[in-house]
A and B are shown apart, each in its own frame.
Chain A
Amino acid sequence: MPGLCRSDPNNEGAAAPGPSSSERRTFNSTARLRTDSVKKSRPLFPWFGMDIGGTLVKLVYFEPKDITAEEEQEEVENLKSIRRYLTLNTAYGKTGIRDVHLELKDLTLCGRTGNLHFIRFPTQDLPVFLQMGRDKHFSSLHTTLCATGGGPTSLKLHKLDELECLIRGVLYIDSVMPRECYYFENPTDPDHCVERPYPLENPYPMLLVNIGSGVSILAVYSENNYKRVTGTSLGGGTFLGLCCLLTGCSSFEDALEMASEGESTRVDKLVRDIYGGDYERFGLPGWAVASSFGNMMSKEKRETVSKADLARATLVTITNNIGSITRMCALNENIERVVFVGNFLRVNTLSMKLLAYAMDYWSKGQLKALFLRHEGYFGAVGALLELLHSS
């Protein structure tokens, strides 16, 4: 749900930063010799792209590193302080976090060189964030902070198409960041399951599965030709919501931590729990889940499972359900390449491996699950690109 921050909506006609390799983050001389016209059509700093999701707000911030002495002088004090505040800290307030490991350095964007920072904070803290902006006198910068949803009525809204931003963001980051895309080799063999880079040079057609609070599944045939195939309300928000109710945990990280220590087979009823082994009539292996949470119907078993087991079972259920719907969509759309993005996958190797496994196993190797390092930030990146494009 990307909104974007833009400083001056009247600047039109800048070159669109497409996913061309010439714009790789090299410090290139043509970029330095900026013409006046480029300078004029470029939006004023600060350059933000924002994606307001159901659970998290994702913010990307471009920090120009090629500021000339002249510019340094021109730069108003407030802008300077924002730049310093954002780039010198990795945590903002109580809940804002900068994902330092994702930072893209020496990036050339719209003729300027700088670093791209990735920041996130809970959507419920959006008012706090905005207050902070006000405290730091954002308004004096003539900045229009654009956000979707309720909340910041004091700010001008500029709503962008979420899916368009997402796709642009994916394509752009993949073009500027080597080894952005990867997959798991031998997903069905836990001992030999390893991460391998995947060159996403010719990505079409692909199924793009965005797992945020909910899930959107897109079939992408080219940069501008895509459709939303379907979606499900059972996403990351469901995992966290159910985990909070079942285990009393309070954060995504806690929930994942717990899940990593739990055992879902104590909660789920497996085929072998019923048939003593494989169910041959239907070719079901004994380890397959016959009933998610099936053991929880027995009072005794309810009393023996740990919170970690419940967290794990919730994670497995939600993940596999997404996998299953994705697989059916891939079959219906006749697409073999599936790219999973979204913040549900952040620090969630468990789910990624499960998805990789499910895609491979149930399709008998036909489907390939791909992942991207910047998981949840593509919408925000797309929003930033849109700002530069439309200015």
Chain B
Amino acid sequence: MYAEHAASTSAHTMDKSIILPPDEIFRNLENAKRFAIDIGGSLTKLAYYSTVQHKVAKVRSFDHTAKEAHSDKLYEISVQEEVTARLHFIKFENTYIETCLDFIKDHLVNTETKVIKATGGGAHKFKDLIEKKLGLKVDKEDEMTCLIKGCNFVLRNIPHEAFVYTKHADSEFRFQTTHPDIFPYLLVNIGSGVSIVKVESEDKFERIGGSSIANLPTPALMFSYFGQRFDELLQLASKGQHTSVDMLVKDIYGGSYGSLGLTGDLIASSFGKSATADKEFPKEDMAKSLLHMISNDIGQLACLYAKLHNLSRVYFGGFFIRGHPVTMHTITYSINYFTKGEVQALFLRHEGYLGAIGAFLKGAEEDNPNQYRWVENYAGSSGLMSVSPDMNPMQRARSGTFDMLEMDRLERQLVKLPLLQDPSSYIPDTVDLTEDALAREYWLFCFEDALDGVVQRAVASQPDLPEAPERAEKFRQKYRHKLQTLRHQPFAYGSLTVRSLLDTREHCLNEFNFPDPYSKIKQRENDLALKYYLKAVKALEKLEWEDRQLALVSGVLAGNVFDWGAKAVSDVLESDPEFGFEEAKRQLEERPWLVDCYDQWFERLKGPPHRCALFFVDNSGVDIILGVIPFVRELLSRGTEVVLASNSGPALNDVTNGELQILTERIAAMDPVIQSGLRDERLMLVQSGSSSPCLDLSRLDKVLATLVRERKTDLVIIEGMGRAIHTNYYAMLSCESLKMAVIKNSWLADRLGGKLFSVVFKYEVPAGKPSQDCSASIPL
């Protein structure tokens, strides 16, 4: 009753022709286990768990006491196999079910699986087929329980899962940042019946209303007259005029009914005109009228329930919604009308997968999947596809075939930074490219333009592997396809941001076993920079205190110019390897900088030292070694403890935690200040939990968060364009913060009113504290 009974009329004729190569759909079947299936009236959703072997880059320090010095490199890079857990969800039309089962059977090597969890209205119908084909016992699970479990799972694990739909806005989809506490909420599932469920916690939910109580008109009503496929009906409806069928307020009153606030165009009586005349009504008009009637009615009831139970978050899902712009619009309209904007209708990006996810979770309870954090793999997931007929042709070809969602398990727990001023309103990304069409166009172009370079570097990073060029080519195709998809459907993976574009690229690189294309470049740069370390430190020590403070800041900024992630810089670096630290300093913009809070920062330094500083570092080489470490050294000398947070996994040329461990050990061997800092645990290295060039302060490694709390951190420093400009530029922290970056992209520099290599030095003190706040702020 909850599922997609609204079925195709030509149901279940087995079609053997699969359009896409199935091995690109049912991936990693060799190690698959814990199958679950959700069969609706027209769509089947299959879920399984598998382990994925992929290559990871590791660094290992050489034993420098040993005689045979391996050239003069600091550390060796090795590529190792690592096994990670992945969840696969595949959605396809019921017509393919037999073909798909055959394919799975043929490729399922692992035989320890005995049971398949099943849910959905069609589970019963296909029970025998599944058992016969797969040799697994079908174990039915309650549909509503699965739905709720799935809903909780996506809300908890996918940051941009929920969105509001606005038909006429620049960006139709506005994604919501998930509230830290997802409960309580109302889930309105509209299939052939309607269910209104109040969810209070993981295990506590109650069906408070719906068709069995209300007996409300459901989409099924549409079939009694038309006998047509639901999607065709929606198409009809989008062409119709309901005013010929419905009786409007103005039909009765001649205009609006002002004293009641009823406008003339309001429907007074649905189908009120179809009783009065013997005339024929166009099908389109009637379909439209039905659509309005059903949407308004369900919206009204949902509002009444939300009001009664004091709930402000109402999610809509089910066959009726299924990403249809038409129904999302009418439901949104209805909710807005009945609550006067107090309640927003929310939709889910993975609404179609909820049942399958829930059934899977039921079957995997012994693995404790809820204990882990899972992250959407952009390389393996199709993203949100709309079934709107006027969407781009590429997508039309896609819908109706196969749709995939893949999620990777994170091995470590992620939590929010305890120093966020308001975690519920924190949005990492500075610019939402779904809403900013101009910026979207530029960045999509920029990433496409940089693709050749990335491919070349990927190939160059694996000179010993002859098939590397072929893999790199596959990577290029995959990422280019993603960019094309995003050009037409910027909303496919939630809010489109520079961060998501970067992350998607990393996911795609990993997908084709290019775990760290920059490993060798980073290695070379680190080697080079280390040679200048002592010289740089000594030069700084000679300066007077006042001059040194500015030199340290300039050093961090100059070091930040070295960034292979930015195209402008990588061009220079590649053509001129001698481009040195001093040269970078000269390239820096003169003060006053584009955003210049240096004077306030300088004043602050005259005061008492900070207790503990958390430093999110950026690039390897000159940046970390000649820029960041000297700055950190000064903090340590002032009596400030320092937590250095670096990436858990590789992204561009960003220094990873593994690399930084080795680098600091080497520096400690030369520099007693760093050495004692490490020894006394006044200098600590932690991983951020991320493998992205950007930074989401709401998803950080738990160890980091704990340390930050224990050490009573009172200063957060964020360095680099990815972490301080593309993300966190507007992040409000509950302690002092420094955001330092050099703008290495001329388009962005232009947009900010600066020029290439303009400097952002933003020092902020939270409101309420004795403030020397720098008011300078540029709108991004």
Task: Please give the distance in Å from A105's CB to the nearest CB on chain B.
Answer: 32
Binding site for A on B (CB under 8 A): 1, 5-7, 9, 41, 121, 142, 144-145, 191-193, 206-207, 209, 211-218, 220-221, 223-225, 227, 245-247, 251-254, 257, 259-260, 266-276, 278, 281, 286, 293, 296-297, 300-301, 304-305, 307-308, 338
- Contacting pair B276 A55 (CB below 8 A): yes
**Are A291's CB and B211's CB within 8 A?**
yes
Least CB distance, B356 to chain A, in whole angstroms: 19
Q: Bound complex: CA of A237 vs CA of B121, how far in Å?
A: 34
Known: A55-B272, A214-B247, A297-B7. A238 touches B293 (CB 8 A): yes
Smallest beta-carbon distance A168→chain B, Å: 16
Q: Contacts A124-B276, A288-B212, A294-B1 known; A234 to B270 CB distance under 8 Å?
A: yes
The reply to whether A332 and B304 contact each other, CB–CB distance below 8 Å, is yes
Shortest distance from the beta carbon of B190 to any chain A beta carbon, whole Å:
11
Q: Which residues of A contact B213 (CB under 8 A)?
A: 288, 324, 362
Q: Is the Cβ of B224 less than 8 Å from the Cβ of A293?
A: yes
Of A96-104, A182-190, A240-248, the one touching chain B: A240-248
Contact between B1 and A245, CB atoms less than 8 A apart? no
**Chain B residues within 8 Å of A238, by CB:** 269-272, 293
Contact at B216–A233, with CB atoms within 8 Å?
no
The 10 closest A-B pairs by CB, nearest first: A241-B271, A237-B269, A237-B272, A320-B215, A324-B214, A291-B193, A213-B269, A328-B304, A290-B1, A288-B212
A234-B297 in contact (CB<8A): yes
Bound-state Cα–Cα, A362 to B210, Å: 12
Complex Cα distance A232/B220, Å? 20
Q: Which residue of A lies closest to B260 (CB)?
A: A228
Given known A-B contacts A237-B269, A237-B271, A291 and B1 have beta carbons under 8 A apart: yes
Assuming the A-B contacts A149-B253, A233-B296, A274-B1, are A292 and B272 also in contact, with contact meaning beta carbons closer than 8 angstroms in the complex?
no
Report if A310 contacts B (CB, 8 A). yes
Contact indicator A317/B217 (Cβ below 8 Å)? yes
Closest B residue to A53 by CB, please name it.
B252
In the bound complex, do residue A296 and residue B223 qualify as a contact, i.e. CB atoms below 8 Å apart? Answer: yes
Contact of A141 with B by CB under 8 A? no
Q: Are B270 and A1 in contact (CB under 8 A)?
A: no
- A161 near B259 with CB under 8 A, answer yes
Question: How many Å lie between the Cα of A368 and that of B603 in the bound state?
Answer: 74
Q: Considering the chains assembled together, what is the distance between the CA atoms of A354 and B342 in angstroms?
A: 33
List 19 contacting pairs A-B, 8 Å CB cutoff, sorted by A. Answer: A54-B272, A124-B276, A150-B254, A233-B268, A233-B269, A234-B217, A238-B272, A274-B121, A281-B142, A281-B144, A284-B212, A291-B1, A292-B215, A292-B218, A293-B223, A297-B41, A324-B215, A328-B308, A362-B213
Which residue of chain A has its CB nearest to the CB of B273?
A: A241
Pair A271/B212 contact, Cβ less than 8 Å:
yes
> Are A148 and B212 in touch, CB under 8 angstroms?
no
User: A244–B279 Cα gap in the complex (Å)?
Assistant: 11
What chain A residues lie within 8 Å of B281 (beta carbons)? Answer: 245
B300 touches A213 (CB 8 A): no
Q: In the assembled complex, how far is the CB of residue A163 from the closest CB belonging to chain B, in whole angstroms?
A: 8
Q: A238-B272, A328-B301, A329-B304 are in contact. Are A291 and B218 (CB under 8 A)?
A: yes
Contact A302 to B227, CB < 8 A, known contacts A289-B211, A294-B193: yes
> What A residues does B220 contact at CB under 8 A?
269, 291-294, 296-297
How far is it, in angstroms, between the C-alpha of A331 and the C-alpha of B304 when the chains are bound?
Answer: 9
Looking at the assembled complex, report how far the CB atom of A367 sits from the nearest CB atom of chain B, in whole angstroms.
14
- Residues of A contacting B293 with CB < 8 Å? 233-234, 238
B215 touches A316 (CB 8 A): yes
A321 and B215: CB pair below 8 A? Answer: yes
Contact B5 A297 (CB under 8 A): yes
Q: What per-residue 1/0 map shows which CB atoms of A163-191 lie under 8 Å from chain B?
A: 10000000000000000000000000000
Which B residue's beta carbon lies closest to that of A331?
A: B308
Residue among A235, A246, A362 with the highest chain B CB neighbour number at 10 A: A235
Asked if residues A214 and B218 are in contact (CB atoms below 8 Å), the reply is no
Residues 30-68 of chain A: 1 if any B CB is under 8 Å from the residue's CB, otherwise 0?
000000000000000000000011110000000000000
Residue contact B275 to A241, C-beta cutoff 8 Å? yes
B227 touching A269 by the CB < 8 A rule?
no
Instruction: Name B217's contact: one of A122, A149, A163, A293 (CB within 8 Å).
Output: A293
Inter-subunit contact B211/A302 (CB<8 Å):
no
| Bound: A147/B213 CA distance, A | 40
* Given A244-B275, A246-B224, A281-B145, A54 and B251 contact (CB-CB distance below 8 Å): yes
* CB proximity of B583 to chain A, nearest CB, Å: 71
The reply to whether the CB of A94 lies closer than 8 angstroms to some CB of chain B is no
Residues in B with CB closer than 8 Å to A234 are 217, 270, 293, 297
Which residues of B have CB within 8 Å of A290? 1, 193, 211-212
Q: What's the minimum C-beta distance from B182 to chain A, rounded to whole angstroms?
A: 22
